[in-house]
Amino acid sequence: MLGESLQARAASAAEPDREQIGDLRGEDERLRAFADDLVCDGDAARPRVANVRNIHGAKVSHYTHRVATTAIERKLLLGGEWLETGDWLEVRSPYDGSLVGRVARGGSAEAQVAVDAAERAMAEPIPAHERAAILDRTARLVDERSEEIARTISAEAGKPMKAARIEAARAQSTFTMAAVEARKLAGDVVPMDASPAGAGKVAFTLRMPIGIVGAISPFNFPFNLVAHKVAPALAAGCAVVLKPASQTPLSALLLAELETEAGLPAGWLNVVVGPAAEVGDVLVEDERIALITFTGSSGVGWKLRERAARKRVNLELGNATPVIVGADADLDDVATRLAANAFSFAGQSCISVQRIYVERPAYDAFLERFVPRVEALVVGDPSADDTDVGPVISRDDRDRILEWVDEARSRGARILTGGELDGELLRPTVVADAPSDAKVSCEEVFGPLCTVAPYDSLDEAIALANGTRYGLQAGIFTSDVKAALRAAHELEFGGVTVNEAPTFRADQMPYGGVKDSGNTREGPAYAVREMTEERLVVLQL
């Protein structure tokens, strides 16, 4: 039976754990308490489970552990079975280091089992109408359990509930749109009599699933970005081997549970949580994986593509999002939108507003409106309903951002607000007059920081906005249609928003970047296109 060896390994390896864990309370796997062994405080907070480990040890080491009351335990989904591996990965809150849950830790063996299961699944294709029905049922389940999804996202990613609830709602839309794509997946008729060579023939194309999809997702949208990989793959008729971010596997496994509940047959979605390099190597090296869809940082993404030269490798990567504010824009509206979109989820969205260029006559008036709005944001516990800005994902990232602030300051930049800690959290930070080659001006900060600078001409503003290796989304606020259209043509980005923050995304949009930001477009219609191949059929009449 599938996974027998893993089960056996888990059974033998799990015994010592069980002794140490003691009696686990409750039967519900989704939400069972870890009993007092995992409910500790102060220095005693280290779980007394020998082989529970966190492969991001460094990322959470600074936190003092608080009393945990409940924690989630999840197994891996391989070939339709929920499997232990005998080894566990801890998930801790980026806010206070408390234990959120633990997940069975897989590696290359589990990844191979997952690919085998996906291969078996694809040997028995599911008709489009059934795939669509499964996706529709998943969308309904996402809606029904949206609060649980939002709580899970918030707990493991440190995302404020306001933003986590939006992510859950968006995931419902992602599944709904993917169901539409499953229903309309079709090829084209080729006009064969358009050339003498085609006379007497009829030809058309079929859209065939490309094969098994290997999906790698980041921590910052741990539910909806998994949905953006899994839902179109299923719509296209592809089985999936998913490796979620190690910091946030619980959301991905919850999504897998909903897929199973929606009736997805065994093997169509397999989830392996474990060391990135080990699982990644299997996805790169196993020839049965036809396509890798990766969302994450540029360095990792481009390296993967280099290593998987014979596969389709779709990359959704970072950005250093610019926005141009014309003097003719509605400054109150702009200030409100940009304060929200530079700092929501502590700036950890790939299209978080990072660089704001304001036409010089409006610069002071803009700052008078913008800075107080930034200072009014509520910084704190992500589980609280009124929090706007929570933690960044790790102490390393927090310290890196502080170093970048210091670098800008030492080169003449002024910190208009923030630039320091509020307890353990970074305060929303606005930096003025940073040199254009300072890190905060051209690299991806991925934190609660934005820069502001004046410009004198649209040419200059466009050049400043383009002065980065990234090209995901950019924005312009202006009432001048000509200026807006010029910017749309000349900004070297995958998307340009006009009179809306470039952080805007609706899930059916073609979303993706140019330059270092990637090489593809997501959004179910566009991802399905990537995940299928055209097969030509020619009939001699």
Of residues 515 through 534, those in contact with ligand NAP by CB under 6 A are 518
Radius of gyration of the chain (CA): 24
Nearer residue to ligand NAP within complex by CB, 89 or 356: 89
Residue 227, classed as helix, strand or coil, is: helix
Of residues 459 through 488, those in contact with ligand NAP by CB under 6 A are 472
Burial-class residue 327 by CB neighbours within 10 Å (0-12, 13-18, 19+): middle
Position among 220, 341, 344, 354 found at the interface with ligand NAP (CB under 6 A): 220
Q: 10 Å Cβ neighbour count for 170?
A: 19
Is position 446 an interface residue for ligand NAP (rule: CB under 6 A)? yes
Of residues 247 through 266, those in contact with ligand NAP by CB under 6 A are 247
Is position 246 an interface residue for ligand NAP (rule: CB under 6 A)? yes
Nearer residue to ligand NAP within complex by CB, 60 or 416: 60
The structure tokens listed for 67 are 């009393």
Contact indicator for 446, 352 with CB cutoff of 8 Å: yes
- Catalytic residue, from 73, 90, 316, 444: name it: 316
Q: 10 Å Cβ neighbour count for 526?
A: 19
Nearer residue to ligand NAP within complex by CB, 318 or 419: 318
Burial-class residue 275 by CB neighbours within 10 Å (0-12, 13-18, 19+): middle
Beta bridge partner(s), residue 207: 534
Distances, alpha carbon 492 to alpha carbons 308, 350, 359, 473, in Å:
27, 16, 20, 9
- Catalytic residue, from 238, 350, 442, 450: name it: 350
Report, in Å, the least distance between residue 472 CB and ligand NAP. 6
Residue 264, classed as helix, strand or coil, is: coil
Q: What letter does residue 469 receive in the DSSP assignment?
A: S
Question: Which listed range, 79-87, 155-163, 233-241, 313-321, lies at the site for ligand NAP (CB under 6 A)?
Answer: 313-321
Nearer residue to ligand NAP within complex by CB, 116 or 507: 507
Q: What letter does residue 265 receive in the DSSP assignment?
A: P
Name the residue type at position 233: A
Nearer residue to ligand NAP within complex by CB, 132 or 308: 308
Position among 91, 114, 350, 413 found at the interface with ligand NAP (CB under 6 A): 350
Is position 317 an interface residue for ligand NAP (rule: CB under 6 A)? yes
Is position 217 an interface residue for ligand NAP (rule: CB under 6 A)? yes
Decide if 450 is catalytic: no
Distances, alpha carbon 208 to alpha carbons 81, 121, 140, 311, in Å:
27, 15, 27, 16
Report, in Å, the least distance between residue 210 CB and ligand NAP. 19
Nearer residue to ligand NAP within complex by CB, 428 or 518: 518
CA distance 498 to 477: 6
Report, in Å, the least distance between residue 221 CB and ligand NAP. 6
Question: Which listed range, 120-128, 250-258, 310-318, 367-375, lies at the site for ligand NAP (CB under 6 A)?
Answer: 310-318
Position among 110, 136, 167, 444 found at the interface with ligand NAP (CB under 6 A): 444
CA distance 460 to 454: 10
Name the residue type at position 29: E
Nearer residue to ligand NAP within complex by CB, 138 or 246: 246
Of residues 18 through 37, those in contact with ligand NAP by CB under 6 A are none
Contact indicator for 442, 426 with CB cutoff of 8 Å: no
Nearest to 472 by CA among 440, 519, 430: 519
Nearer residue to ligand NAP within complex by CB, 252 or 484: 252
Nearer residue to ligand NAP within complex by CB, 176 or 246: 246
Residue 523, classed as helix, strand or coil, is: coil
Contact indicator for 79, 113 with CB cutoff of 8 Å: yes
Report, in Å, the least distance between residue 225 CB and ligand NAP. 6
Residue 151, classed as helix, strand or coil, is: helix
Contact indicator for 179, 132 with CB cutoff of 8 Å: yes
Question: Which listed range, 59-67, 174-182, 238-246, 454-462, lies at the site for ligand NAP (CB under 6 A)?
Answer: 238-246
CA distance 420 to 456: 31
Is position 507 an interface residue for ligand NAP (rule: CB under 6 A)? no
Of residues 276 through 305, those in contact with ligand NAP by CB under 6 A are 276-277, 280, 295-297, 300, 304
CA distance 408 to 403: 9
Nearer residue to ligand NAP within complex by CB, 172 or 246: 246
Q: What letter does residue 499 receive in the DSSP assignment?
A: S
Report, in Å, the least distance between residue 95 CB and ligand NAP. 17
Position among 117, 216, 401, 474 found at the interface with ligand NAP (CB under 6 A): 216
Question: Which listed range, 104-112, 148-156, 274-282, 367-375, lies at the site for ligand NAP (CB under 6 A)?
Answer: 274-282
Report, in Å, the least distance between residue 505 CB and ligand NAP. 9
Q: What letter does residue 445 receive in the DSSP assignment?
A: -
Decide if 420 is catalytic: no
Question: Which listed range, 66-74, 166-174, 317-325, 400-408, lies at the site for ligand NAP (CB under 6 A)?
Answer: 317-325
Contact indicator for 314, 517 with CB cutoff of 8 Å: no
The structure tokens listed for 355 are 């660089």
Question: Which listed range, 115-123, 129-137, 218-226, 485-493, lies at the site for ligand NAP (CB under 6 A)?
Answer: 218-226
CA distance 447 to 445: 5
Question: Which listed range, 127-135, 240-248, 333-341, 380-388, lies at the site for ligand NAP (CB under 6 A)?
Answer: 240-248
Active site residues: 316, 350
Chain residues in the site for ligand NAP (CB under 6 A)? 216-221, 225, 243-247, 276-277, 280, 295-297, 300, 304, 316-319, 350, 444, 446, 472, 518
